[in-house]
Amino acid sequence: MPADRNVMRAPKGMLDVLPPESARWIDVIERFASRAERFAYGLLLTPIVEHYEVFARVGETTDIVRKEMYEFVDRGGRRLALRPEGTAPVVRAFVQHRPPTPWKVWYLAPNFRAEQPQAGRYRQHWQLGAEVIGIDDPDIDVEVIELLWGFCHDLGLRDVRLLVNSMGDADSRARYREVLLAYWRAHEALLGDEMERAEANPLRILDSKRSDWLEMLERAPQLGEYLTDASAAHFERVQEGLRALGIPFEIAPRLVRGFDYYTSTVFELTSGALDTAQNAIGGGGRYDRLAEEMGGPAAPSIGFGSGIERLLLACDAEGVLPVPPPRLDAFVVDLVGVADTTRLLAELRESGLAADRAYGGRSPKKQFTAADRSGARWAVIVGPDEAKRGMVAVKDLRSDKPQCEVRREEIAAWLLTGKDEAHS
């Protein structure tokens, strides 16, 4: 990071992504889009801001809503908030437009949370996600998990753990909450200030990382023991499905996730290669009541979000998905300073080649230096001698093959052919 003077800088916890690093982002996004489309999910774009109430529905006891939202009042006096998470806007769009179900969508969106930045945690982060609205079937749970799991595999990630759990239905949780709350009360001394949170949402204490709580947490009553028959059967079917696909998973009894809306199946992907505190690279679950809570029809649903910054951190840790090399085909070197150079460059680009040139009347030497740094495969040299004969010179910058001449009007086709041969 540059030393801080009076220069402008990005807001705290928000990152710029510059080339060539940004090429990896294109890579990640394209791989996700490709897989999601193969799974028959369509892209959903929603506004970056929503009415405050859209996110308030996500839960009164979630920190993200309570104290981490970027809120503002617009000029019309409306209370708006920057999106802190991806699911609520999707459900809002669903209840607003009422598309036919099951509604399968994927998204790419920045999320904003006013929390303290640390490794793998930023105030703006990008999530790729997918949601299926309006269907309650363990098989769709499996499909959604498969989408996320396969995507991580597509990136080259191998050191990934899939954690699954079931939050049960409302009946399951009501019974469990009472038992759990009684347990917390028995440990009030250890919980201290957090007792208030335990009262408000007993489940939220379960996934704490505090080492002094470890023993208490391990001995806590488990949600799985309080599942209704229907919930247990659903969860069992999900596990069968994962086994059928050969996707390894671990049941994490204390995995409860951070949003109030979760019901039934919940899951999380963690990277074992990441030695930072924030090692979850994706997570989600069922939210069977959210659509109703937003004033829509009953629409049991499931989805997940996956943070691009963390995926890339995990890729770095595993040494996969390197920055792709520049894909420039040609660099035009102009030795004559004629308008035909401009025309030639335009022709190459229109024919589908990636091409560039130097500007500012650089010396041949500097132009070749620029050509080299551009990573281009060929230098196309427009020189006075060749021009008289209707030719251009072509130099292969990545080999020691002697320079050759090609007819001016055939250069684009010649390069395209050479490019194809290089790929085969």
In this complex, which beta carbon is closest to RNA, that of residue 77 or of residue 319? 319
The sign one gets for the Cα dihedral 25, 26, 31, 33 is positive
Quick note: the x/- pattern for RNA over 169-198, rule CB under 7 A, is: ----------------------------x-
Inter-residue contact 153 to 320 (CB < 8 Å)? no
Inter-residue contact 236 to 228 (CB < 8 Å)? no
Residues pairing with 265 in the sheet:
166
* Residue 335 engages RNA in binding (rule: CB under 7 A): yes
In this complex, which beta carbon is closest to RNA, that of residue 6 or of residue 424? 6
In this complex, which beta carbon is closest to RNA, that of residue 232 or of residue 397? 397
Among 102, 168, 241, 307, binds RNA (CB under 7 A): 307
Inter-residue contact 117 to 12 (CB < 8 Å)? yes
* Residue 369 engages RNA in binding (rule: CB under 7 A): yes
Quick note: the x/- pattern for RNA over 377-396, rule CB under 7 A, is: --x-x-xxxx------x-x-
In this complex, which beta carbon is closest to RNA, that of residue 36 or of residue 205? 205
Rounded distance, CA 350 to CA 415, Å?
Answer: 13
Residue 270 Cβ vs RNA, minimum distance, rounded to whole Å: 8
Inter-residue contact 117 to 310 (CB < 8 Å)? no
Kindly state the number of chain residues that form the binding site for RNA, as judged by CB under 7 A.
73
Residue 416 Cβ vs RNA, minimum distance, rounded to whole Å: 21
- Supply φ then ψ for residue 107, to 5 degrees: -145, 160
Quick note: the x/- pattern for RNA over 36-65, rule CB under 7 A, is: --------------------------xxx-
* Residue 278 engages RNA in binding (rule: CB under 7 A): yes
Inter-residue contact 60 to 54 (CB < 8 Å)? no
Cα–Cα distances (Å) from 47 to 72, 80, 83, in that order, read 15, 11, 8
Q: What is the DSSP letter of 223?
A: G
Among 50, 131, 268, 288, binds RNA (CB under 7 A): 268
Count Cβ atoms within 10 A of the Cβ of residue 91 and give its class: 0-12 exposed, 13-18 middle, 19 or more buried: buried
Question: Which segment (185-193, 237-245, 286-294, 301-309) binds RNA by CB under 7 A?
Answer: 301-309
Quick note: the x/- pattern for RNA over 67-86, rule CB under 7 A, is: ------------------x-
* Residue 204 engages RNA in binding (rule: CB under 7 A): yes
Rounded distance, CA 57 to CA 201, Å?
Answer: 15
* Residue 18 engages RNA in binding (rule: CB under 7 A): no
Among 38, 78, 98, 210, binds RNA (CB under 7 A): 210
* Residue 403 engages RNA in binding (rule: CB under 7 A): yes
Rounded distance, CA 82 to CA 111, Å?
Answer: 7
Rounded distance, CA 294 to CA 274, Å?
Answer: 37
* Residue 400 engages RNA in binding (rule: CB under 7 A): yes
